[in-house]
Amino acid sequence: MLQFLGRLHILVLHLPIGFLILAFLMELATRRSALALRPAVGFSLFWGMVSAVAAAAFGYLLSLDGGYDEELLSWHKWLGFATAGLSVALYIFYKKNAASSLFLSFFTATVLVLAATGHFGGSLTHGSDYLFSDEKSDATAAVPIANLDSALVFEQVVLPVLKAKCGNCHNPAKRKGGLVVLTKEDLLKGGKNGPAVVPGKPDSSLLLKAIHLPLEEKKHMPPKGKPQLSDTEKQLLDWWLKAGAPFDKTVAAAAMPAALRSALQAATVAAAPSLLDGLKLDPVSEGKLKSLRSEGIQVFPMAAGSPFLQALFSGKKDLTAGQLNKLKPIANNIVQINLANSNVDDAMLAIVKEMPHLNRLHLEQTGITDKGLANLADLQYLEYLNLYQTKVTDAGFAQLQSLPKLRSLYLWQTGVTTDGVAKFVSQKPDIFIDNGIKNDSMFGEVALKAPMIKASKELFNDTVHVTLESGFAKANIHYTTDGKEPDSTSAVYKEPLVLSASGR
């Protein structure tokens, strides 16, 4: 019964907040404008007082259950009592002299104490960093694993699962059932029903029991309605406990079964983290992008909802420095710019100096020279640079030395030499350079189809115009009109023939 009343705290606690703040607003309105709301202030205040006392009492009962962070709880408890006490005093004050300015000051103080109580209460249920943390999913964000074999079984594989699926209630601030799952010590210690993890004894480990109970069961964890463990995650925890709950071993050393390993591989070793993943930028408003697009500047988010932008100018032969300068206000967000096959030149390329986060740059088929590459010197995030069919030479490599992250460089049909490429690769070993196919001898010759012979009519009296057509304009057509098989020494077709006599 007491436990039931304690749980009513969650319901009742919202009432004094509403009643007291409503009373406060009506009091302000009575004083500022001539709205005669004072009788209503008393009514609202009365119920505020009753619900505040009830909330404090129920809250006290709930706190007896335990499982809360002691320090936060103590603040919340005493402030809650203070709110209840203050609201009673406030109601008595109201009855005596509601019009005095002291009443308003007293009322203000009560509302402030109420706010503080609410804040600590919120911290108790949602965690103290709930209000100001950037990402709600912080706790679930698993650290990407580069290599599963060398990953630590507990820290990098098991813990992220516990954190994501159990950590919302079983954390140091909330301690549901006295259990915290986030460290080795806490798991071995367990909660009020005993240790959660007994190394090597999966059958007596409460953790496994809780997750394998049917969903309808009251003791099933995570509780119905909360995100459940996936099959792979359950298998992982089973194996981990059976293997003696290794805390410090790597996956390879702990001999994980192949099936589980490949399932985890697919689930955890997702895409290699991109350089931009850790980067947080303020998004540019869609309105701003739209207005730029209406001016002919093609800027789009990299993906739906992404703060990163791409700018597309490929094929534009009438590009001006003025147009590119319009990118300046959003330059911080641009991670990709495509200037391929445009009239961009070394001077216009200066715009990329404004783009500190530029990651991919398309300059292929432009008039860019070694000199223009100097504009790229400070691009700390540049990973991809396409320079094919430009005028860059080996001298340009000097300008690219300072790019720390450059990974892919395309240099086909430029002035660079094989030696120059080899030298640059020896200086920056993790770079990939595509210099194009230098040797086409592995491909056979193209085969032309027989040309089409077109005449204006089949039978003719005096003369007829005959055209010879090949699907391929660069092909030479040799012909004879005497019925012999044409070869490369025969006449070359240049213009329609006029025939005046039939062959055979």
Partner 1 sequence: MGAWLSYGLGSENENLPAFVVLTSRGGGNSQGLYAHLWSAGFLDSAHQGVLLRGGKDPVLYLNDPKGMEQADRRRFLDNLAELNHQTYDELGDPEILSRIKQYEMAYRMQTSVPEVMDINGEPDHILKMYGPDVVTPGSFAANCLLARKLAEKGVRFIQLYHQGWDQHSNLVDEMGMQAKQVDQPSAALILDLKQRGLLDDTLVVWGGEFGRTNYCQGPLDAKLYGRDHHPRSFSVWMAGGGIKPGFEYGETDEFGYNIVKDPVHIHDFHATILNQLGLDHTKMTFKHQGRRYRLTDVSGEVVKGILA
- Positions touching partner 1 (CB under 8 A) are 265-267, 270-272, 298, 301-306, 312, 314-315, 340-341, 360, 362, 364, 384, 386, 388, 408, 410, 412, 434, 436-437, 440, 443-449, 471-475
* Min separation Cβ 418 and partner 1, Å: 15
Which tokens belong to 329? 């206000």
Which tokens belong to 181? 């799952």
Smaller CB separation from partner 1, 314 or 369:
314
For CA atoms 17, 23, 26, 31, the dihedral sign is: negative
Is the preceding omega at residue 222 within 30 degrees of 0, hence cis? yes
CA distances from 447 to 444, 451, 479, 487, 488 (A): 9, 12, 18, 16, 16
Contact 258, 252 (CB under 8 A): no
Smaller CB separation from partner 1, 445 or 458:
445
Coil, strand or helix: which one is 384? strand
Smaller CB separation from partner 1, 322 or 471:
471
Contact 439, 429 (CB under 8 A): no
* Min separation Cβ 442 and partner 1, Å: 9
Q: Distance between CA atoms of 412 and 429, rounded to whole angstroms?
A: 19
Q: Distance between CA atoms of 359 and 205, rounded to whole angstroms?
A: 49
* Min separation Cβ 378 and partner 1, Å: 22
* Min separation Cβ 377 and partner 1, Å: 21
Smaller CB separation from partner 1, 72 or 431:
431
DSSP code per residue over 301-362: ESSTT-S-EEEE-TT-SS--HHHHHTTGGGGGGEEEEE-TTS---TTGGGGGGG-TT--EEE
* Min separation Cβ 445 and partner 1, Å: 7
SS3 content of the chain, % helix, strand, coil (to 5): 45, 10, 45
Which tokens belong to 497? 């023939």
CA distances from 444 to 381, 437, 447 (A): 42, 15, 9
Smaller CB separation from partner 1, 295 or 440:
440
Contacts of 455 (CB under 8 A, 6+ apart): 464, 465, 466, 467
* Min separation Cβ 406 and partner 1, Å: 13
* Min separation Cβ 303 and partner 1, Å: 3
Instruction: Of 165, 179, 187, 141, give the one whose Cα is nearest residue 231.
Output: 165
For CA atoms 155, 157, 160, 165, the dihedral sign is: negative
* Min separation Cβ 61 and partner 1, Å: 44
The single-letter DSSP state of residue 297 is: -
* Min separation Cβ 247 and partner 1, Å: 28
Count of CB atoms situated within 10 Å of the CB of 354 = 16
The single-letter DSSP state of residue 338 is: E
Smaller CB separation from partner 1, 49 or 157:
157
Smaller CB separation from partner 1, 332 or 470:
470
Smaller CB separation from partner 1, 34 or 447:
447
DSSP code per residue over 40-74: HHHHHHHHHHHHHHHHHHHHHHHHHT--S-HHHHH
Smaller CB separation from partner 1, 55 or 361:
361
Q: Distance between CA atoms of 352 and 324, rounded to whole angstroms?
A: 9
Smaller CB separation from partner 1, 142 or 499:
142
* Min separation Cβ 163 and partner 1, Å: 20
Smaller CB separation from partner 1, 39 or 436:
436
* Min separation Cβ 448 and partner 1, Å: 6
